[in-house]
Amino acid sequence: MECDPQMAVRDAIIAIIRYHEENRADNGSVCMMGRFHNILYVAVKLCYDWQLKDTGTVVALLENIYACESTFERIFVGAIFGNRAPYYIAGWKSDFDSQEENVRAVVYFIDHATTGGLEFACGRNKELTRFVDVPMDSCGGDSPTPAKIALQLGLPDKLHILLRYGACLDDNVVEYLLKRLMEFCHVYPYNIVACLQLVLRVIPRIEGEKSVIFDNYPDLVEDALIPPTRCGVQVPELKHLSRCCIRKRLWENYQLPNGIGTLTLPDSLRRYLDIMCD
């Protein structure tokens, strides 16, 4: 008798979630962690390896993980820092065979979390936060998000993935990048420049007075790292402002970036909306 792999994997994941919930209930609704919790990461690997399409089941798995851990570090750390990093940072082995596989797994889970409209109550204020922005507390005292860590480490490829899915940025992100670039005296590392270029694709313009930008970052203005249309010298391009507006609406409706493909636009404009080019 033939068995549908998708149904078999879904049933296996549901059984694992049920096992975890029953053990937690037997312990006064407190997760015993250890093997009783780690079984959820067997489910994580099954989901990714078989590319389970049932978003509801994937969402239920992520909700169970967050209910016990209040973070998704075990999914993100290996993708950002490499496969050996989880052991040194948190003491556990990566669930994926390589950093590249871990990055693809992150994309897989972000995609399902977005499709499922998943949000989590984070921090002291229990602010509703999307999967891609859930803080990684073990990676810094200020509870940085995956996007902020990628930016601080100068990882434009990882930052690009997160921004495509609408990762939020702090108000001081641009200032941080500008100050860091000023330290290099006209010889700028490509990766930091690339991070700045990506950030400038997703914000309408750099906040602050034009005079302050010119006074504080003269080298960057001189070397054209700060475009005149993004710092108040010239009006931002209508095309860029439209991109920011459309991306915001797609984000609000949990359609970023997949909803871009449904728009009746030329491929070149779709790539522009998806921050693939400027």
Tens digit of each residue's pLDDT (9 = 90 or more) over 167-201:
999 878 899 999 999 999 889 999 999 999 999 99
Query: Which residues of the chain form beta strands (DSSP E)?
Result: 119-122, 127-130
The 10 Å CB-count burial string (b at 16+, else e) for 86-99 is beeeeeeebbbeeb
Cβ 153 vs Cβ 195: under 8 Å:
no
Q: Could you give the CA distance from residue 86 to residue 76 in angstroms, rounded to a whole number?
A: 9
pLDDT in tens, 51-98: 999 999 999 999 999 999 999 999 999 999 888 776 666 667 788 999
Query: Cis peptide before 144, with omega less than 30 degrees from 0?
Result: no
Q: Which two tokens stand for residue 83?
A: 């496969």
